[in-house]
Amino acid sequence: MARKLLGVSVAAVTVAAVLLTLGSGVAVAQVVASATGSGHFQVSGDLRTFTFNANTDSSSNTKGQTQGNNRNSGIKWHGSLNCLNVVGNVATMSGVVTDITPGLGDPFLVGNYIVFQVIDNGQGKNLPADLISLTFFFPAGSPNPGCTGFGIFATIPIVDGNVTVH
């Protein structure tokens, strides 16, 4: 009899906890926009490597990371993304430089703003390559470029890699 009551008590507590959680009005933020990618592209014969991920939730909070490497010049940088603007298959992202090697002075300094864009042209061998822009660095004291208002500037084909925009 005690086991039966214990089983009923556990079930009752579980049901009560579920009902309280559902009725608490606590909303869980859902991802409403995302962009991810990695790969290589070339600019004037220089091989460049990139990777990024960014998500915006239903509360308009954006979080993400980006990293780039210009293999010819040896410049490597990392950034924290705080803005993502998705329009169809185009994603524009911006944030702040968190690490750069070597530091070359303005605009290539930790704390400066960055902005770049990608275009997701779909999956498959018969589709055009996905596109990426250069990453634009903004010197100290300049206004935050945000990630809107730049227009379409992702025109460099990604040689090896892929981007996905949702």
Q: Would you say residue 3 lies in a domain?
A: no
Distances (CA, A) of 162 to 23, 130, 133, 155: 42, 7, 14, 14
Q: Would you say residue 74 lies in a domain?
A: yes
Average pLDDT of the chain to the nearest whole number: 86
pLDDT tens-digit readout, 80-98? 999 999 999 999 999 999 9
Domain count, the chain: 1
Q: What's the domain range around 82?
A: 31-165
pLDDT tens-digit readout, 99-152? 999 877 778 899 999 999 999 999 988 899 999 999 999 987 888 888 887 788
d(CA 162, CA 52): 11
Strand-pair category, 113-119 with 75-87: unpaired
Q: What is the dihedral of CA 82, 107, 137, 37, to 10 degrees?
A: -80
Q: Would you say residue 95 lies in a domain?
A: yes
Q: Would you say residue 92 lies in a domain?
A: yes
Q: Would you say residue 55 lies in a domain?
A: yes
pLDDT of the residue at 14: 45
Q: Would you say residue 107 lies in a domain?
A: yes
d(CA 48, CA 43): 8
Q: Which residues contact 59 (CB under 8 A, 6 or more apart)?
A: 29
Q: Would you say residue 24 lies in a domain?
A: no
pTM: 0.81
The residues pairing with 40 across neighbouring beta strands, listed in sequence order, are 49, 160
d(CA 41, CA 136): 16
